[in-house]
Structure 1
Amino acid sequence: MTESPYETVMGFLVGPWLAQAVRAAVDLSLAEHLADGPRTAAEIAEAEGADPDATARFLRACASMGLVAYAEKGFTGTELLSVLHRDAPMSLRDLAASQSSACLWLTWARIPEAVRSGESQTTQALGMSFFDYLAAHPDEGALFGAAMASMSAPVIRDAVEVIDIADATTVVDVGGAHGSFALAMLAKHPGLQAIVLDLPHSLPGAQAAAAERGLDSRFTAVAGDFFHAVPQGDILLLKFILHDWSDDDCVRILSNCRDALHPGGRILITEIVIDDHAPGIAPLMDIAMLASAGSRERTLAEFDNLLTRAGLHRTAATAVEPPYVVIEATAAA
């Protein structure tokens, strides 16, 4: 049965409840508690130190969302819930916790002001820029880094399959947080060495991730600022970086990357590529970036303009996990 306009808009309006319910499911570790079979609300409440009545009511709400299902004894997990398990191959656990956290929600609550002003609302919401806030709150910074790693997972999975490393020996993950992209490249190409460049608060997570995967002997984490300098390499990776910044800032980043290229080197930019009729998440991400960073998602023509201003030339654009594209660029002749 087709939804009425009233029902569709009502669905939009309860969206915040749904997102926060998913966050609460993560906070209560529902996926882990139900991984081995049904449990009662009382059992979960006792394990989590939660209120039994509120837990029962919450599980009823989760059942209405399809996260859990009623069982003969209590509740059982569903395929939807399994995506929130910490050990799921494409787990969204960290993303659910981060994207519904106060530092983002306080900013996104100011989307009307962002649209009227055309400017970021993070300073008004948090008292400082978003990245300064993460640096000042290391726990939230670590969670955000883990969230970006989980959001990146399907994109990285596809990107490493379409990137031809040719005779490259060194890859640099610029602003790479926990180094997920670089580590995936190392896993696929045993002859590569990798460097991840990011702010100091991200480096412990990067080093731990490399050690966990047994790749630390080929991996170096470097503290730095891509507005000042970038380590030299044959392939420079920029994943989910440029959409955080204004056009002028992007040109500074890309110019520093151009200067860091070894002869014959390439820059690989992985970003959403948007157009006026883009479906799904891309236009919504564009507005989220406006509110949180005063930045934007871009069309391919807009990326080409940035590249030209930075002395670069696009040589390829390959679609991966929608709506993401890997854009390859080299130094202009």
Structure 2
Amino acid sequence: MTASPYETVMGFIVGPWLAQAVRAAVDLSLAEHLAGGPRTAAEIAEAEGSDPAATARFLRACASMGLVTYAEKGFAGTEALAVLHRDAPMSLRDLAASQSSALLWHTWARIPEAVRTGESQTELALGMPFFDYLAAHPDEGQLFGRAMASMSAPVVRAAVEVIDVAGATTVVDVGGAHGSFALAMLARHPEFDAIVLDLPHAVPGARAAAAEHGLDDRLSAVAGDFFTAVPAGDLMLLKFILHDWGDDESVHILANCRAALRPGGRVVITEIVIDDHAPGIAPLMDIAMLATAGSRERTLAEFDDLLTRAGLRRIAATPVEPPYFVIEAIPAA
């Protein structure tokens, strides 16, 4: 049955409750506790040191959301809850913790001001720009890096299958955080080596990820700033980078990538591409980026404009996981 307008808008209004309930499920490790079978609220409360009565009420709320179901003995996990398990193949545990944390919520509480001014609200909310905040708070920076890796996992998996790698041997993951894109490329192409470029706070995570995957002999993580220079390579991977920046900054990044390309190389952009008339997450992400960074998601025509200004031209735009595309470009001249 179709929801009434009242029910639809009420669903929007209680959205924050749902997101924070998911975060609480992560904090209480519900997916891990219920992975082996049903447990009572009292058992979970004892394991977590939480209030027994409040835990029972919370599990009732989780049942209403479809995260758990009632069982003969207490509560059982659902397939939706399993996605929050730390060992799930594409776990959303870190993303749930990061996206519902004070780091982002203080900023998103100022979305009305962002719409009125057209400007980022992060500095007003947190006292400093977003990436400066991550650098100043390493634990939150590491969580955010893991969250972005988990969110991008299905996109990366699809992207590595469609990128033209002819003639390439070295990939540069520009602003690559923990190097998830570079690692996927290395796993797919054993002849490659890779460089991850990011700010100093992200480098330890990239090195640890490479060691965890047994690829530290083929991946190097270097501290740097893509506004200053980019290491030389055949494929410049820009995953979820340009949406963090305004047009002039994005052109600067792309121009530095173009300057670092070896002969025959390509710039590969993996981003949301907005279709003005399509429903889904893209327009919402656009507003989140406005509030967080004063930046935006873009249409394909807007990407083409950035590329032209940076001395590049698009040669392909391949849809992968909706609403994401892989955009490939080469030097225009």
TM bucket (normalised to shorter chain) is over 0.9
Name the structure 1 match of 2:41. Answer: 41
| Offset at residue 54 of structure 1 (A) | 0.6
Name the structure 2 match of 1:196. Answer: 196
Distance in 1 separating the partners of 2:88 and 2:133? 29
1:303 alignment partner AA: F
| Offset at residue 167 of structure 1 (A) | 1.8
- SS of the equivalent of 2:217 reads helix
Distance in 1 separating the partners of 2:246 and 2:112? 20
Name the structure 2 match of 1:105. Answer: 105
| Offset at residue 2 of structure 1 (A) | 1.7
Name the structure 2 match of 1:181. Answer: 181
**2:142 is the alignment partner of 1:169:** no
| Offset at residue 69 of structure 1 (A) | 0.4
Name the structure 1 match of 2:136. Answer: 136
Name the structure 2 match of 1:292. Answer: 292
Name the structure 1 match of 2:52. Answer: 52
1:47 alignment partner AA: A
**Aligned 1:121-270 pairs, distance under 5 A:** 121-270=121-270
| Offset at residue 21 of structure 1 (A) | 0.2
Percent identity over the alignment is 84
1:295 alignment partner AA: S
Distance in 2 separating the partners of 1:135 and 1:306? 28
Deviations 1:67-121 (A, max 9, x none): 0000000100000000000010110000000000001000000000000000000
2:4 alignment partner AA: S
TM-score (norm 1): 0.99
Distance in 2 separating the partners of 1:115 and 1:2? 30
Moved over 4 A (4+): none
| Offset at residue 3 of structure 1 (A) | 1.1
Distance in 1 separating the partners of 2:3 and 2:187? 47
| Offset at residue 239 of structure 1 (A) | 0.2
Name the structure 1 match of 2:117. Answer: 117
2:163 alignment partner AA: I
Deviations 1:252-307 (A, max 9, x none): 00000000000110000000000221210000000000000000000100000000
What is the alpha-carbon root mean square deviation over aligned residues?
0.5
- SS of the equivalent of 1:150 reads helix
Name the structure 1 match of 2:29. Answer: 29
Distance in 2 separating the partners of 1:2 and 1:246? 39
Name the structure 2 match of 1:304. Answer: 304
Distance in 2 separating the partners of 1:50 and 1:304? 53
Distance in 2 separating the partners of 1:305 and 1:159? 23
TM-score (norm 2): 0.99
Deviates more, 1:164-173 or 1:29-38: 164-173
**Number of residue equivalences:** 333
Structure 1 residues without counterparts, runs of 5 or longer: none
Distance in 1 separating the partners of 2:104 and 2:270? 23
Structure 2 residues without counterparts, runs of 5 or longer: none
Name the structure 2 match of 1:64. Answer: 64
Distance in 1 separating the partners of 2:308 and 2:28? 49
| Offset at residue 164 of structure 1 (A) | 2.2
- SS of the equivalent of 1:195 reads strand
1:32 alignment partner AA: E
| Offset at residue 143 of structure 1 (A) | 0.3
